[in-house]
Structure 1
Amino acid sequence: MAHQSSQNTASAVLPPVYCPIERAFHPKAASVQNRAFDWIERHRLFGDAGIPRESALATDSARVTGSMMPGAPEDLLLLYATYVYWGFSVDDLFDTGTTEERTHHYRTLAPRLMRAVESPAAQADDDGPHVALLLDMRRYLERCATPAQVRLWVDTIHAWLLGVALELDSTRDQSLPGVNDYLFVRMYVGAARAVTVTLEICGGGEEIPAQERESTAVTALTQAAGVLMNLYQDLFSHHKEGPTDHNIINVLTHATGSSQQQARVQAVELCDRIMVLFLRLREQTAPRVSAPTRTYLDNLGHALSGVLDWCHTTARYKTGTTTAPVRAEQPSAPGLAPPPYPNIAWWWDQLDQCHT
């Protein structure tokens, strides 16, 4: 989330973040960007919806999605990149303006988005470009995914909209959740689940066996990656937000009584602990699952690396105030002790005894 009042960045120093996963790039990212913009323009998202083309270009969505799944077929990368461009434009509607304006946008648009993915045969003349493009992406997905994968994707749209509703509810009274509750909601806000499911479908592997996807280890890895991607965005967008906006730094400041700089350090330590857990659990899990699931787990790692780099360079967040290198060679919080937050601590329970 990044809107309304901004915070003092004069003394803000973000510690480097631990991410030893190598950077990766998709060779067709540039051509996919052009195709994605053609698709978006066909639905008049840049015109009727009032979204400047330059703002969409500044999200650099084609490059970051390509870095998240460098082996994806070009047509599937097109779907993912277009979905991310679309997602940023919807996020800006739900995340910009007064609480009343944001709530109005949500109440107007969210039911139509849910209907578009749940009942694509039902259409309304006044749906607008956001709904029309989502409906078109839904039909595109049907041509390149299994019915089970389409159902997963539809459910993630519902989960994302639920997360937005939860955040708006807290925003109305300017309250901040505790850290444990915030981490749970962060699995939904920011479309984390939608991103990981789309990554699974478009990443270049075959369909993941259901028993592997729903296993506790793969579920933990999926949740860890989704939360970590959203926490990275929190770290780099905080300077644009007000003190009651939902962001891990604000939540830690409120919960612990720390200064904002201390909370930045605590937030990076939490990110580093999750990264160490992700790497160890992925190493443990990969030999025990099928090739499609291993491809998915590889792409989760690419996604973490790509999103971290994107957060550091994107025009959405960049101010020129960052004074530290974006990546640390070692984690700031070594070891595998779980953090004191039950909503995520169970991830560490999936490690074999030899890893702990």
Structure 2
Amino acid sequence: MSWAAEVGLRLAPQATGEGLGILANWVAAAVALDDLRCHMGFNSEPRDFLKLVLGLLYRVERPEAGPMEPDPHPLCGAFVGLSQRVRAHAPVEQWRSWVSALKNWLLGVTGESSLSVSDHLTLRTGAIRLTHVLIEVAEGTVLPAAVSAEPAVRAATDAAYALVLIGSDLYSPRRELAAGTAAPNLVGLLMPPGGTVEDGIEAAVRLHDRIMVFYTSMVGQLTSGDDEQMRRYFEQLGHYVRASLDASVASATSVKSVPGWALSPTDGSLTAPPIPAIAWWWDQLDRQS
């Protein structure tokens, strides 16, 4: 089994056949594009990366169109193929949701320059929606739009995305600094003036744990009834969060001074942190439950 298929199964344990193939191919393509982004977008020619992104988006939104002359990059063909397969395998609204999320991710990272923790969590967590859509595609599920748009469901979903993002950020700073490809990262944003990477990691772990406490409380609130679709939705998000943490830990096995597993949160508060972009999540908690 390829590493991408293994990651796909961890993300979506109930995926089979074409759904699993789409998810595994997405994992491989996303990693390749992210590596390209780090090298082209941050260290050499950001304009070249922007040109690649614009060409890729044109073709993904119109997969029936022929190759551009010249094709911006071989990865364009991989993403066009994914777009064709998602459109053939899933309801059209899921395909449109995936294309929209891809557009938000790529246009965001071409000018990525986080000025605050709020900016970082707002701009970067949107990218994680991409994989979430394909988890649903792979397992053949979709939460009705009217339900997913409810503020409490959106808050819990955004919190899960933030956990995936922070988990990735926690394990990447030393690797990226060593490689000379450091990108905007929550650890750096939380690092106090004159502080060290360890100071930033400690602050990021506290924020991660506070969000995790909120998330588990919110999921318990939302799944307390007999709504099977809601239960399955958050079961999938739970797999996503855990699989992403596992992948981050595995990728950092040679990196010293990274956080390990803990039996209790470093910050178990159920009050909102002083981060304007996410403070509204905590307003959705039923304090009497």
Structure 2 stretches lacking a partner, 5+ long: none
Distance 1:257 1:215 in 2: 42
TM-score when normalising by structure 2: 0.90
Aligned to 1:354: 288
Rounded Cα–Cα distance in structure 2 between residues aligned with 1:284 and 1:250: 33
Q: Residues of 2 paired with 1:180 and 1:208: CA distance?
A: 27
Q: Which moved more, 1:300-309 or 1:234-243?
A: 234-243
Higher relative contact order (CA 8 A, sep 6+): 1
2: CA distance, partners of 1:99 / 1:72: 35
* Pair 305,104 (structure 1): closer, same or farther in 2 beyond 3 Å: same
Shift in Å, 1:222: 1.9
214-223 or 327-336, which deviates more: 214-223
Within 5 Å, give how 1:1-356 maps onto structure 2: 30=1, 33=2, 60-96=3-39, 99=42, 101-125=44-68, 126-127=70-71, 128-167=73-112, 170=113, 177-188=115-126, 191-202=127-138, 204-242=139-177, 245-254=183-192, 258-287=195-224, 290-314=227-251, 317-322=252-257, 326-355=260-289
Which of the pair is proportionally richer in helix? 2
C-alpha distance 338-245 of structure 1, shift in aligned 2 (>3 A): same
Q: Which runs of 5+ in 1 are unaligned?
A: 1-29, 34-59, 171-175
Go from structure 1 to structure 2 and tell me whether the alpha carbon gap of 1:111 and 1:288 turns closer, same or farther (over 3 Å shift).
Answer: farther
The answer to whether the 8 Å contact 1:234/1:247 transfers is yes
* Superposed displacement of residue 268, structure 1: 0.1
**Cα gap change, 1:272 to 1:345, in 2 (>3 Å):** same
Identity of aligned residues (%): 30
Judge conservation of contact 2:60–2:79 (CA < 8 Å) in 1.
yes
With over 3 angstroms needed to count, the CA separation of the structure-2 counterparts of 1:102 and 1:344, relative to structure 1, is farther
Instruction: Write the distance in 1 (CA, Å) between the matches of 2:188 and 2:106.
Output: 23
Q: Over aligned residues, Cα RMSD in angstroms?
A: 2.2
2:105 and 2:124 in contact (8 A); partners too = no
Cα deviations across residues 328-353 of structure 1 (Å, max 9, x unaligned)? 11111012111110111111111112
Instruction: Give TM-score scaled by structure 1 length.
Output: 0.74
Which AA in structure 2 matches 1:277?
F
Q: Secondary structure at the match of 2:287?
A: coil
